[in-house]
């Protein structure tokens, strides 16, 4: 058959299967993310029925999926809210880096991978998945919760940190030395500052470029601007996700509201493609040899993420249930972890097992994270929280509600 024919059949069959899996997940009260990942494993390299013609389509779709997830998050908040939340979350961001990067660094040394492998593994364990967490928050109806800005602030701090970390790691892996790393770092910092200034200072002017009364032009314009800025950011060694998020922050008023409604179906489509592509790129045969170390690392660093989120929410006066929702939501790792491991493996300067270990680690956190994020919604967990709150005594009058 013609290549295009095979492509249409593969894409159509997989999207139909995802639709059925999404419906099943809603019926059983589970996030669809784990099922999407398992579908990717089943049809990826080494799976039951490997797909041949549609891999490039899903690769591009996965990139668009992450970008749409982040621009939709940005549309929920204003530039002033972003700046205020970043200032409030700065101590939590520092704690986040220490608690979640150091276990990976220590694990790398324990495995005998040297300081380069340790630095890479520290990056793998550090950063939560903005894409996965955005999807979980949307699925659980928590985008309007009081703790959600805290979660977003930590994610943005991590993504901005990655804008500095990735150029340095790339220079180290490429043997460019301190000079090459320093130049890459300066470019990354300048790009982030410029995009932030434009988003905060000229957001109203950017919004006036679009008409909220013209749905077709609004959809095309906002989507085009988002992809353009994300691509430019990625080309300058800054996260495409950061660029997309800041586009969402820059838009406001009726434009932001109408764009949210128009982009929501596209977000759901390409977000599903993102999670499937993650599974498609994973060979199930590579996972068993590194599964136990990956589970051990995941248990430790999922716990440290809960501590990070709990501390961040407590600092701004969020009540006990919200603190737990914050910590549990931050557990999944994803796109950045895979990117970091991929850079290291392609450079051939670290142990080749780092790639499968990172993949297994991310799969463990992405499958279990969305499930554990639902814990605060269960009755038994709420009863336990009420007992904890009662044992702690009455809250001060200034404390926030759930």
Over residues 98-154, the pLDDT tens digits come to 999 999 999 999 988 888 888 889 999 998 988 788 888 888 888 888 888 889 888
Neighbours of 198 (CB within 10 A): 16
Nearest one of 363, 280, 370 to 328, comparing CA atoms: 370
Say what the pLDDT of residue 28 is.
74
Are residues 53 and 227 in contact, defined by beta-carbon separation less than 8 angstroms? no
| Spatial CB neighbours of 301, under 8 Å, sequence gap ≥ 6 | 100, 103, 104, 125, 333, 365
Helix (H) or strand (E) holding 180: helix 177-201
**Contact assessment for residue 331 and residue 310, using Cβ atoms and an 8 Å cutoff:** no
State the pLDDT at residue 85. Answer: 66
The mean per-residue pLDDT over the stretch 332-350 comes to 75
Answer yes or no: are the C-beta atoms of 201 and 153 closer than 8 Å: no
Lowest mean pLDDT among 272-276, 280-284, 380-384: 280-284
The per-residue pLDDT for 181 is 63
| Residue-level pLDDT at 74 | 76
**Residue 339 in contact with residue 123, Cβ under 8 Å?**
no
User: Is the pLDDT at 242 greater than 80, yes or no?
Assistant: no
Round to whole Å and give the CA distance between 235 and 310. Answer: 35
Closest C-alpha to 247, from 206, 193, 190, 205: 206
- The predicted pLDDT at position 223 comes to 92
Average pLDDT, stretch 360-388?
A: 87
Question: Over the stretch 172-191, which tens digit does the pLDDT of each residue have?
Answer: 776 665 566 667 667 767 76
Q: Are 31 and 25 in contact (CB under 8 A)?
A: yes
Q: What is the pLDDT of residues 379-401, one digit of tens each?
A: 888 888 888 777 766 655 544 44
Distances, alpha carbon 104 to alpha carbons 115, 189, 367, in Å: 11, 25, 20
Indicate the pLDDT class of residue 81, thresholds 50, 70 and 90.
low
Whether the pLDDT of residue 253 is over 60: the answer is yes
Query: Which pLDDT value is given to residue 398?
Result: 47
**Average pLDDT, whole number, for the chain?**
81
CA neighbours within 13 Å on the CB side: how many for 159? 28
Cα gap 184→236, rounded to integer Å: 9
pLDDT at position 301 is 95
Task: Compute, in degrees rounded to 10, the torsion defined by CA atoms 178, 182, 185, 186.
Answer: 180
pLDDT of residue 394: 60
Kindly tell me if the per-residue pLDDT of 209 is higher than 50. Answer: yes
pLDDT at 245: 77
Buried/exposed code over 162-197 (b: 16+ C-beta within 10 A; e: otherwise): bbbbbbbbbbbbeebeeebbeebbeebeebbeebbe
Give the residue-averaged pLDDT of 312-328.
90
pLDDT of residue 329 exceeding 90, the answer is yes
Does 326 score more than 90 pLDDT? Answer: yes
Where is mean pLDDT largest: 7-11, 24-28, 396-400?
Answer: 7-11
Quote the percentage of the chain above a pLDDT of 90.
17
Tell me the whole-structure pTM to 2 decimals: 0.71
For residue 396, what pLDDT is reported? 54
- Cα distance between residue 344 and residue 123, in whole Å: 11
Tell me the domains of the chain and their CATH numbers. Answer: 56-392 (1.20.1530.20)
Q: What does the pLDDT read at residue 399?
A: 47
């Amino acid at each position: 058959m013609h290549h295009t024919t095979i492509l249409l059949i593969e894409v159509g069959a997989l999207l139909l299967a995802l639709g059925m899996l999404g419906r099943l997940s809603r019926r059983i009260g589970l996030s669809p993310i784990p099922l999407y990942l398992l579908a990717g494993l089943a049809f990826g390299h080494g799976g039951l029925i490997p797909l041949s013609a549609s891999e490039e389509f899903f690769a591009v779709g996965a990139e668009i999926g992450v970008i749409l997830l982040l621009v939709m998050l940005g549309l929920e908040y204003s530039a002033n809210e972003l700046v205020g939340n970043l200032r409030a979350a700065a101590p939590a961001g520092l704690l986040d880096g220490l608690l979640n990067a150091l276990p990976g660094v220590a694990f790398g040394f324990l495995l005998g991978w040297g300081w380069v492998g340790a630095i890479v593994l520290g990056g793998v364990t550090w950063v939560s998945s903005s894409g996965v967490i955005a999807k979980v928050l949307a699925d659980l109806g928590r985008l309007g919760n009081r703790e959600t800005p805290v979660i977003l602030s930590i994610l943005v701090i991590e993504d901005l940190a990655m804008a500095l970390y990735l150029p340095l790691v790339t220079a180290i892996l490429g043997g460019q030395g301190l000079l090459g790393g320093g130049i890459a770092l300066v470019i990354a910092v300048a790009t982030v500052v410029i995009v932030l200034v434009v988003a905060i200072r000229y957001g109203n002017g950017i919004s006036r470029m679009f008409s909220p009364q013209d749905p077709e032009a609004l959809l095309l314009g906002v989507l085009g601007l988002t992809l353009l800025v994300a691509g430019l950011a990625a080309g300058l060694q800054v996260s495409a996700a950061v660029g997309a998020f800041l586009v969402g922050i820059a838009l406001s008023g009726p434009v932001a509201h109408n764009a949210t409604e128009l982009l929501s179906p596209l977000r759901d489509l390409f977000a599903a493609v993102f999670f499937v592509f993650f599974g498609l790129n994973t060979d199930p045969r590579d996972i068993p040899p590194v599964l136990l170390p990956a589970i051990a690392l995941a248990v430790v660093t999922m716990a440290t993420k809960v501590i990070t989120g709990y501390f961040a929410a407590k600092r701004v006066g969020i009540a006990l249930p919200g603190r737990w929702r914050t910590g549990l939501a931050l557990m999944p790792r994803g796109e950045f972890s895979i990117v970091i491991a991929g850079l290291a493996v392609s450079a051939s300067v670290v142990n080749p097992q780092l790639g499968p270990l990172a993949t297994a680690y991310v799969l463990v956190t992405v499958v279990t994270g969305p499930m554990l994020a639902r814990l605060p919604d269960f009755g038994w967990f709420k009863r336990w929280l009420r007992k904890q709150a009662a044992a702690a005594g009455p809250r001060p009058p200034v404390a926030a509600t759930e």
